[in-house]
Amino acid sequence: MKKEKIIEVNDLYAAFDSLTVLSGVSFSAYQGEVTVILGGSGSGKTTLLKHLLGLYPIMGGRISILGKDLAQLREVEQVELYHKMGVLYQSGALLGSLTVAENVALPLSQHTKLPPELISDIVYMKLGLVNMAHAYHLYPSQLSGGMLKRAALARAIAMDPPLLFCDEPGAGLDPVSLESLDQLILNLKNQLGMSIVLVTHEVPSILRVANRIVFLDQGQVAFEGPLKEAMHSKHPAVSAFFSVLKNEHVRELVR
């Protein structure tokens, strides 16, 4: 069965003053898949993600998300589309003065007219999805790093977005918390059919969750395709990265 293209980027160009960050970037992401964006530090992964989220004006090229050309959207359509996209940032960034439940409720109270009782029920359900129902009344300062990420994930999916973007969500997590975060991401894909775009450097995460790899190098896409093919890419940067990955994978198996 042919998978539906959910994101299509064509010849995207991005620069900050004289620094060209993306130069002719093209790739696609598909419905119900986890697309992992890889590349060295400063290779433009976050810049690319922010373009997909519509946070930067498009300087060159074209981005189409859920069949909509980002540059052609009227304001109403823009808002409609952005409500279909959830985001989990590296920092997690929950508001410290609000409880976990109040944090997760924010997008719902800001962007919907749902009655407060229904919002509470939805929040409880979302926290349950990320194994955080017990933290409903806690404040962010009372949570561990892994719990903070899971609470931020609950907030990112509060509006039931079909599309979720995560920028290095595993950074700074211990291996056990990382694995449980990966498991949640897989659950969102497998049980709710979400399409997920994930920026990560974490080798175990890539092996656990990636369907498709987009590898950025020197402002261009050095590889695009299934994880299995990425491991055999002849491109120097991609092959260097995956030779490490293979070794770590082997080490993990031997352990």
Ligand X SMILES: Nc1ncnc2c1ncn2[C@@H]1O[C@H](COP(=O)(O)OP(=O)(O)O)[C@@H](O)[C@H]1O
Rg, C-alpha atoms of the chain:
18
The Cα–Cα gap between 210 and 229 comes to: 12
Of these, 1, 2, 18, 41, which contacts ligand X (CB under 6 A)? 41
Q: Is there binding between residue 46 and ligand X (CB under 6 A)? A: yes
Min separation Cβ 45 and ligand X, Å: 3
Q: Binding of ligand X at residue 45 (CB under 6 A)? A: yes
Return the number of the residue (36 or 101) whose C-beta is nearest ligand X: 36
Give the separation between CA 8 and CA 186, rounded to whole angstroms: 22
CA distance 161 to 84: 4
User: Of 14-22, 65-73, 134-142, 221-229, which segment contacts ligand X by CB under 6 A?
Assistant: 14-22
Q: Which residue has the tokens 């093209």?
A: 26
Q: What does 177 interact with, of ligand X, Mg ion, none (CB < 5 to 8 A by kind)?
A: none
Q: Which two tokens stand for residue 100?
A: 């976990």
Token pair, residue 188, equals 């969102």
- The one among 6, 25, 33, 47 contacting ligand X by CB under 6 A: 47
Q: Are 227 and 213 in contact (CB under 8 A)?
A: yes
Say whether residue 20 binds ligand X (CB under 6 A).
no
Quick check: 46 binds Mg ion (CB under 5 A)?
yes
Q: Which residues bind ligand X (CB under 6 A)?
A: 16, 19, 21, 39, 41-47
